[in-house]
Copies of this chain bind each other. A is one copy, B any other.
Amino acid sequence: MNTNPTGSIRIALDAMGGDRAPKIVVQGAGIAQIRYPKAEFTFYGNEAEIAPLVAKQKNLRGRVAIVHTPDRISADDKPAIALRSGRNSSMRLAINAVSEGKADAVVSAGNTGALMGMAKFVLKTLPDIDRPAIIAFFPTMKGEAVMLDLGANIECTPENLVDFAVMGAIFANTVLGVHQPRIGLLNVGAEETKGREDVRIAAQELRALELPGEFIGYVEGDDITKGTVDVIVTDGFTGNVALKTAEGTAKMYTEFLKRTFKSSWLAQMGYIFARSAFQKLRKRIDPRTYNGALFVGLRGVCVKSHGGTDGIGFANAIGVAYDLVQYKFNDQISSRVHVMHEKIQALPSEIKTAQPEAVA
């Protein structure tokens, strides 16, 4: 991580990524500038579009830099195309700024696949990390939890899952402030003998290692929202399906709730009485609060904001990036993961191979 001598935290912003860019990016920076006075922003994108927006934000005027980039990556561009022909895009140049030491972190609300591909290609993975992962946080009945991998890796080895557990625990510690995060491995049952081989070996290894948190064993899909653990570890296929299933279920409930309040004259009256309470609920489960997925395991902080977010949501994504730089997230990962890998090497071989299913 490149920290610079002045103590400021320099954040490169892909001003052209997201459904309503560059407007929400500039608005988000404006909000974040108030929250984090030490942040220094550089916008990458079309100067003619960005400059007038910056001029309107009193607290940004004269404080931020704009690097003009002629190209932008669109939401529909395939990652491979974006990587090859997007060398002068706002996304690419903002990522380059991190690899060149001009910025400490990059935030983009653009195309996820392109951002992942470019960030991996430009920033490279941290030493000892084989696969980067996507991590994000979301509401539970008890507070908040983080889950990874949400889609970067379709298949994972047990060692990838161990790395994810370590990175996830440090993330929960850094972003959620949980001192000793509880870590769970997503599976289809709580018994030791259940599940796919990769998951069972990972569990054996996690039980044998000293982690930056407490490994409590397997968790199931309903434990995610129960708040059983602070960190949920899984492969990118399962994680992506679980995340989207939860989002879909939440949308269905919100839709049913709306229909219910509109279904009769009495129900409409009821809503008028309960409105203020529901506004608080809406705030509690506001997706903007949970905005900011991170590509963990890269040499540099790269935060992905939801494409459809607004200024407040984008400011929250900037906040995630800011925290990770401030608390030297990547340095913590490097030191922990290196030790962990040495310990895995030293583990007895029966821990690193799947045990036959116990005959009860």
Contact check: which of B234, B249, B360 meets A80 at CB < 8 Å? Answer: B360
Interface pair A221/B240, CB less than 8 Å apart: yes
How many chain-A residues does the 8 Å CB contact rule pick out? 66
Given contacts A186-B241, A244-B221, contact A266 B256 (CB under 8 A): no
Interface pair A226/B241, CB less than 8 Å apart: no
What is the chain B residue whose CB lies nearest that of A262?
B277
Within the complex, the shortest CB–CB distance from A46 to chain B, in Å, comes to 25
Chain B contacts for A155, CB-based, 8 A: 196
Given contacts A273-B266, A274-B271, A276-B266, contact A252 B140 (CB under 8 A): yes
Query: How many copies of this protein are present in the complex?
Result: 2
Task: Give the distance in Å from the alpha carbon of A151 to the alpha carbon of B222 in the complex.
Answer: 14
Chain B contacts for A221, CB-based, 8 A: 240-248
Given contacts A242-B241, A256-B281, contact A248 B273 (CB under 8 A): no
Chain B contacts for A196, CB-based, 8 A: 154-155, 237
Task: Give the distance in Å from the alpha carbon of A242 to the alpha carbon of B220 in the complex.
Answer: 10
A154, A234, A243, A275, most chain B CB atoms within 10 A: A154
Mark contacts of A264-293 with chain B using CB atoms, 8 A cut-off: 1 yes-contact digit, 0 otherwise: 101101111111111011001100000000
Chain B contacts for A191, CB-based, 8 A: 78
Within the complex, the shortest CB–CB distance from A217 to chain B, in Å, comes to 16
Task: Give the distance in Å from the alpha carbon of A359 to the alpha carbon of B84 in the complex.
Answer: 11
Interface pair A188/B236, CB less than 8 Å apart: yes
Interface pair A141/B255, CB less than 8 Å apart: yes
What is the chain B residue whose CB lies nearest that of A267?
B277
Interface pair A273/B277, CB less than 8 Å apart: no
Task: Give the distance in Å from the alpha carbon of A263 to the alpha carbon of B253 in the complex.
Answer: 20
Interface pair A267/B273, CB less than 8 Å apart: yes
Chain B contacts for A78, CB-based, 8 A: 191, 360
A238, A269, A277, A285, most chain B CB atoms within 10 A: A277
Asked if A172 lies at the interface with its beta carbon under 8 angstroms from chain B, I say no
Mark contacts of A194-216 with chain B using CB atoms, 8 A cut-off: 1 yes-contact digit, 0 otherwise: 01100000000000000000000
Task: Give the distance in Å from the alpha carbon of A273 to the alpha carbon of B265 in the complex.
Answer: 9
Task: Give the distance in Å from the alpha carbon of A155 to the alpha carbon of B236 in the complex.
Answer: 16
Task: Give the distance in Å from the alpha carbon of A245 to the alpha carbon of B240 in the complex.
Answer: 12
Mark contacts of A309-339 with chain B using CB atoms, 8 A cut-off: 1 yes-contact digit, 0 otherwise: 0000000000000000000000000000000
Within the complex, the shortest CB–CB distance from A43 to chain B, in Å, comes to 29
Asked if A224 lies at the interface with its beta carbon under 8 angstroms from chain B, I say yes
Contact check: which of B224, B249, B266 meets A274 at CB < 8 Å? Answer: B266
Mark contacts of A124-145 with chain B using CB atoms, 8 A cut-off: 1 yes-contact digit, 0 otherwise: 0000000000000001110000
Contact check: which of B79, B141, B186, B248 meets A223 at CB < 8 Å? Answer: B248
The list of the 4 closest CB pairs from A to B, nearest first, reads: A221-B244, A270-B274, A270-B273, A222-B248
